[in-house]
Structure 1
């Protein structure tokens, strides 16, 4: 028997057919595992009838919803390869992914009719032969209607077309510089990603997991798979809305949810927090940035702990995890290696940095959940995957107990007066300032120093920090050469859908040079 992610849904439907699998909050639709499996079988047989074969790529341009979930498992069952597309991209960016992946079909939401119309004008240059649209209203587009196909299709289990190390999905990185790269993951990789998450975090079969972040991101696709594997219930939010999040948590008795640190901060200030009962929540999964002590304390006062994770698209999610019991003593750390994951930190010559030495190096990961490589990018694959290790491009240190602290991305490091300065360290210090909601630090050209740090600060509500007060705060917590001399207060920081700061965009907006 080959391990196939789609077959996991078939097994789950056989074991607990009437258990609630997914709830759509906005639409009010509910699906048992038996219902979800039947719908997934119908989509799988539809794709087979259209000639989709094992190894063919099927792209999806879908908001969070049951159509995304059932398409994922359907594509997996028949051995095709899902290409989940970031729906925030414009038509030209979507075009690149469809062309680069060689997608034979696209399943899309009616929300994106305009982008699809644009794409279909250049269809001869695309490999996409089948366009399947999800939406209640008819569209003036050459495409098939998803619900019509679903209703007419065979509900029987399709032939399982792949498994183990065969390709399961290709997920394109955010592409903050140049074209994005497609990280290729296998059925085995996703299974071990699930094993890793289940065995490191407090996951239970009766959990109700809120899914407010986009499913096209690995941080949400992993829980979608995990919930079916474990038999929990996923509560889907089509769009991220803080007020609706609180109402949803209250009404659906959510026990776990996901949120980036910036969202956690915003939620504390939302008026709906006082109006809704969120006592059902045991813990929150977060990543993309360290969580300051003040934020940990604020959520702890509500009886909710924070699990701080570090991972990548290329690692199928897991990497390290900082559990609540360790958070107070290791603020700023992203924790230790998760179960089924090995880590080390290496210097420029590839030598392992000793734990507790304080020396910074590149964080590298190993485990069966790492990507197979980048789609059609042999050189990039060879650079990222070496001797069984994934080179993350993140600079980090680790203490004597193995707790990892990310210093910064290699490419984000600032060299000022010959000294290496890691913006993440400065951002952590600024985030701990009572007058700062969040901060980003970039390097700008300096005639005197080569580069100098510029701190872009979002003030905390009700505060008005200035350069002098921020500089004074930094001097208390940083060596003199690290203290930014330039500060700019802004209303918000640009982020991609996974919550990561868009440093290239900031560099474009603030090119410098520094006045000194």
Structure 2
């Protein structure tokens, strides 16, 4: 049988038709696998009725919902290509991605009518969209588009004819663009299946599990756990958007067993009163991705009996890279862990030669879950995937036991007087200054050294900090040439939806001052 990811849902519905599959908290919608699959079939047939066929790109601009995942599996079944769109982008940014991907059908929700109107106002040549599909109430549907519910009502629930298999593209997910314009990572039916396989095989999953999808579904850290849940035959639970108080209530009421979050989400959850009286006894583990787990967050979680694990993943790897699990979380603080079961990693020099343990180099990853290419970027694809390995652009070390430690991004490295300085190393130390909420370190031009480090610090609410306090804290904790020459205080740092600091925007903001 040739692999089509849509078959995962069809087969799961055949094996376990009455098992709970998807809980949409916002809409109070509960679907069995049979219902989930029937809805996906209706959606697939509805898309086909407006001309969507194999290879056509279908953009999704929706909040987290049952409809989102029904669309994803519907697109998979008919061999079209899903383009998950970042719900936080403005019209210009969305227009770039829609045009770059060649999206011909755009499905959008009520929350995005205004931004879609702005995109349309740019004119017919701004995008290649032919079908505008409004997934909203009939009375509110835009006059220029199709109504999603009406299309589904007219469609049959029988299985559509399969199209799109194996190495055919399944989705194009655009990177967050922390260092430049976003690039579309092309994932196929095979890479998605292998990502689900390696996640399920590495994580401690059980047939009775209930997985909370805590990130927005346009992100690989949400979409792939939702696919893995279907592979495992477990229940997926999601809310429309992040709400720290609501998450605790959902964890209790739905008996959530596991989730994937970013540290910022968990940090905010630990600030609300619900953490003190919610029953999370069923909650076995949370995987935290997107940034290293701060020691303070690890301690706060452990103090209330919450087990967290560190995950290192990439859009280009369809998610899975490394995982730090079990007792190693406390034993190997700061590590990204070891590679997933069906994934291999190495740390290499500029000639792609493996470096000795403890030596910084570029982290490269190999596995059947690695992207096929960057969309429309053949030279960058060849460079990034040279030698059959995904070159992550992350500087890392590996210890004698095979645990990986992410040091920094290659592009963020500061060269000062010929010395390589990794900002993440400095950020980790400054994060320990009492009263520091967030910190980012970037290079600033220096007539003598070329570049020197500058620390951008966000103080905790109600805390008073000055430059001298920060610099004195650094003394003796790092080499003198690494100590920032300047400390600048800010109200907030520009972040991606997954909590990563957008240093490109930071540099631009500072240069404009």
TM-score class, shorter:
over 0.9
Task: Report what 1:351 is aligned to.
Answer: 353
Rounded Cα–Cα distance in structure 1 between residues aligned with 2:208 and 2:63: 26
Matched, 1:191 2:193: yes
Task: Report what 2:181 is aligned to.
Answer: 179
Report the alpha carbon displacement of residue 470 of structure 1 after superposing the two structures with TM: 1.9
Task: Report what 2:129 is aligned to.
Answer: 128
8 Å Cα contact 1:208/1:232 also seen in 2: yes
Task: Report what 1:48 is aligned to.
Answer: 48
8 Å Cα contact 2:321/2:340 also seen in 1: yes
8 Å Cα contact 2:185/2:375 also seen in 1: yes
Question: Which deviates more, 8-17 or 437-446?
Answer: 437-446
1:312-354 CA-partner distances (Å, limit 9, x unpaired): 1100001111113112222211111111111111111221112
Question: Which deviates more, 411-420 or 62-71?
Answer: 411-420
Task: Report what 2:3 is aligned to.
Answer: 3
Rounded Cα–Cα distance in structure 2 between residues aligned with 1:19 and 1:490: 50
Matched, 1:401 2:395: no
Rounded Cα–Cα distance in structure 2 between residues aligned with 1:302 and 1:177: 37
Task: Report what 1:287 is aligned to.
Answer: 289
Matched, 1:152 2:150: no
Task: Report what 1:458 is aligned to.
Answer: 458
8 Å Cα contact 2:95/2:126 also seen in 1: no
Question: Which deviates more, 63-72 or 166-175?
Answer: 166-175
Rounded Cα–Cα distance in structure 1 between residues aligned with 2:33 and 2:309: 28
Rounded Cα–Cα distance in structure 2 between residues aligned with 1:2 and 1:408: 40
Report the alpha carbon displacement of residue 462 of structure 1 after superposing the two structures with TM: 5.2
8 Å Cα contact 1:2/1:162 also seen in 2: no
8 Å Cα contact 1:307/1:321 also seen in 2: yes
Give matches, 1:102-501, under 5 Å.
102-121=102-121, 122-136=123-137, 137-355=139-357, 358-461=358-461, 463-501=463-501
TM-score normalised by length of structure 1:
0.95
8 Å Cα contact 2:141/2:147 also seen in 1: no
Report the alpha carbon displacement of residue 124 of structure 1 after superposing the two structures with TM: 4.4
Rounded Cα–Cα distance in structure 2 between residues aligned with 1:267 and 1:112: 27
Rounded Cα–Cα distance in structure 1 between residues aligned with 2:447 and 2:31: 62
Indicate the SS of the match to 1:319.
strand
Rounded Cα–Cα distance in structure 2 between residues aligned with 1:308 and 1:85: 26
Rounded Cα–Cα distance in structure 2 between residues aligned with 1:117 and 1:509: 29
4+ long deviations beyond 4 Å: none
Rounded Cα–Cα distance in structure 2 between residues aligned with 1:220 and 1:267: 18
Report the alpha carbon displacement of residue 140 of structure 1 after superposing the two structures with TM: 3.5
Question: Which deviates more, 264-273 or 408-417?
Answer: 264-273
Rounded Cα–Cα distance in structure 2 between residues aligned with 1:246 and 1:490: 30
Report the alpha carbon displacement of residue 512 of structure 1 after superposing the two structures with TM: 9.5
Rounded Cα–Cα distance in structure 2 between residues aligned with 1:8 and 1:478: 51
Rounded Cα–Cα distance in structure 1 between residues aligned with 2:235 and 2:325: 23
Rounded Cα–Cα distance in structure 1 between residues aligned with 2:233 and 2:458: 41
Q: Could you say if the C-alpha distance between residues 275 and 308 of structure 1 is closer, same or farther in structure 2, counting changes exceeding 3 Å? A: same
Rounded Cα–Cα distance in structure 2 between residues aligned with 1:44 and 1:187: 16
Indicate the SS of the match to 1:331.
coil
8 Å Cα contact 2:165/2:189 also seen in 1: yes
8 Å Cα contact 1:262/1:438 also seen in 2: no
Indicate the SS of the match to 2:181.
coil
Rounded Cα–Cα distance in structure 2 between residues aligned with 1:311 and 1:11: 28
8 Å Cα contact 2:180/2:504 also seen in 1: no
Indicate the SS of the match to 1:429.
helix
Task: Report what 1:505 is aligned to.
Answer: 505
8 Å Cα contact 1:444/1:511 also seen in 2: no
1:237-274 CA-partner distances (Å, limit 9, x unpaired): 11111111122212222111222112222222222222
Report the alpha carbon displacement of residue 229 of structure 1 after superposing the two structures with TM: 0.7
Identify unmatched segments of 5+ residues in structure 1. Answer: none
> How many pairs align?
511
Question: Which deviates more, 152-161 or 171-180?
Answer: 171-180
Indicate the SS of the match to 1:308.
strand
1:8-56 CA-partner distances (Å, limit 9, x unpaired): 0001111111111111112211111111100100011111222221111
TM-score normalised by length of structure 2:
0.96
1:183-223 CA-partner distances (Å, limit 9, x unpaired): 10111101110111111111222111111211001111101
Question: Which deviates more, 485-494 or 284-293?
Answer: 485-494
Identify unmatched segments of 5+ residues in structure 2. Answer: none
